Amino acid sequence: MIIVIMGVAGSGKSTVGTQLAQTLGWPFYDGDDFHPTSNIDKLRRGIPLTDRDRAAWLAALRHLIDTQIAAQQSCVLACSALKQSYRTQLTPPQGTVEFVYLRGTPAQIQARLNQRSGHFMNPALLTSQLATLEEPESGLMLDITASPEQLVAQICQALHLP
């Protein structure tokens, strides 16, 4: 099983994903680590990514998912997966990919971004991320006001994991 923790920047994807992976004893991958340098440079400068910018990034993430499935290895991946077309691209016909959407209000997320340091994502990009976001119609949707520990427990319960 591949679990993709998705949502806009600042929703807690990496924090929850890391804790979930540790709980399950699975590898964790942060989608941010797969961005080409040109994307990171744009995000630092506050320039929103286009679908074209995201194409190579999504292809790299799909390759990771395919590799994990071929090796029969479960993992947790933190990835914004903002559009349905991105989620479709990340979902192979074989294997199980479960999307977990971390949902919060713009004010909650902006407050988190304003407190975050050391990340390349410019907090000013939240507006463009929210404009791009197509909330999933299926899958697990969780409220970010819960603690990371509570969110991990909710994910494990919903997906019938230990």
Structure pTM? Answer: 0.93
| CATH number of 130's domain | 3.40.50.300
Residues in contact with 6: Cβ distance below 8 Å, sequence separation at least 6, in sequence order: 13, 79, 80, 81, 82, 87, 99, 100, 101, 102, 136
Its domain, for residue 46, covers 2-158
Question: Region 37-46: what's the mean pLDDT?
Answer: 88
> How many residues does the structure list for the chain?
162
- What is the number of structural domains in the chain? 1
pLDDT tens, residue by residue, 100-151 = 999 999 999 988 888 766 556 666 788 889 999 999 998 899 999 999 999 9
